[in-house]
Amino acid sequence: MEPVLQMEHIVKQFSDFYAVKDVSLSVNKGETVAIIGPSGSGKSTLLRCVNRLERVSSGNIVINGETLVSTGHDGRPVYVSEKEAARICLNTGMIFQHFNLFPHMTCIQNIRYAPIVVKKEDRKQATKQAKDLLRLVGLEDKADAYHAQLSGGQKQRVAIARGLAMNPALMLFGEPTSALDPEITGEVLAVMKDLAKQQMTMLVVTHEMGFAREVADRVIFMDSGQIAEEGTPEEIFNHPKSERLKAFLQKTLRI
């Protein structure tokens, strides 16, 4: 097993509130890990700590073999320099709930922007890659469309293509379908399923129990800022150990 992400003893504190309490997890190359749990359980905060959208209060994070943050002797987090942190975080692609596409750019411009500006890739090559990625997410006919001309599902698929354009070692998904109508959620999940089949390394925070059950290699159940239970989809959904997980599944799956 080759870990792409290692998080050890992560704590995230907001004033006197602990959103994440001593969480450790790893994601191996080619693995899809789903994080489930009730609202307010710390799932999204933990995900945002991976690429420094939230700074940890303490703990260690290693991405693709490089240390982003470690805990000093005084218990406080020690991040690498801003330049190094930015470089290390390029190994991650982040898909948000609300797409965050540039509205003044077409789909293809959105996708090729970061490779050209950040990685200094050749414009012609970046354009070719963008077209290939639009084909991958089933939107090759939308290359010249703008944000306002797309449905919510299409916008999210463009966002996924944009994340993939930087060739990340790890894709992070923060409840990618929660802002979508149920009838178009499936088209986004289908793209994510295809990525899993291609062994794209993914850490997915989701309320879609069907996706976690069908696609994930491992499922993590968080509650009150901690990992309450962890296992294969079979173990989590068919043989939950804790009463808390049983209650959560009964509510979400309406068992």
Note the pLDDT of residue 29: 96
Rg from Cα positions in the chain: 18
Secondary structure in 3-state letters for 102-152: CCCCEHHHHHHHHHHHCCCCCHHHHHHHHHHHHHHCCCHHHCCCEHHHCCH
Note the pLDDT of residue 162: 95
Rounded CA gap, 37 and 244, in Å? 10
Rounded CA gap, 219 and 114, in Å? 31
CA pseudo-torsion sign 179, 94, 170, 4: negative
Rounded CA gap, 78 and 4, in Å? 20
pTM of the complete model: 0.93
Alpha-carbon separation of residue 210 from 25, 75, 98 (angstroms): 22, 40, 21
Note the pLDDT of residue 97: 82
Cα angle: 221, vertex 170, 238; to 5 degrees: 25
Question: Can you give the pLDDT of all 255 residues of the chain as single tens digits?
Answer: 789 999 999 999 999 999 999 999 999 999 999 999 999 999 999 999 999 999 999 999 999 999 999 998 998 999 999 999 999 999 999 998 887 899 999 999 999 999 999 999 999 999 999 999 999 999 999 999 999 999 999 999 999 999 999 999 999 999 888 878 887 889 899 999 999 999 999 999 999 999 999 999 999 999 999 999 999 999 999 999 999 999 999 998 864
Note the pLDDT of residue 254: 66
The helix/strand/coil state of 195 is: helix
Rounded CA gap, 157 and 137, in Å? 6
How many residues would you count in the chain?
Answer: 255
Note the pLDDT of residue 181: 85
Q: Is 108 exposed, middle or buried (0-12, 13-18, 19+ CB in 10 A)?
A: buried
Q: Checking DSSP bridges between strand 32-36 and strand 202-205, what pairing results, if any?
A: parallel
Note the pLDDT of residue 2: 86
- Tell the residue number behind the tokens 């173990």, with chain if given: 235
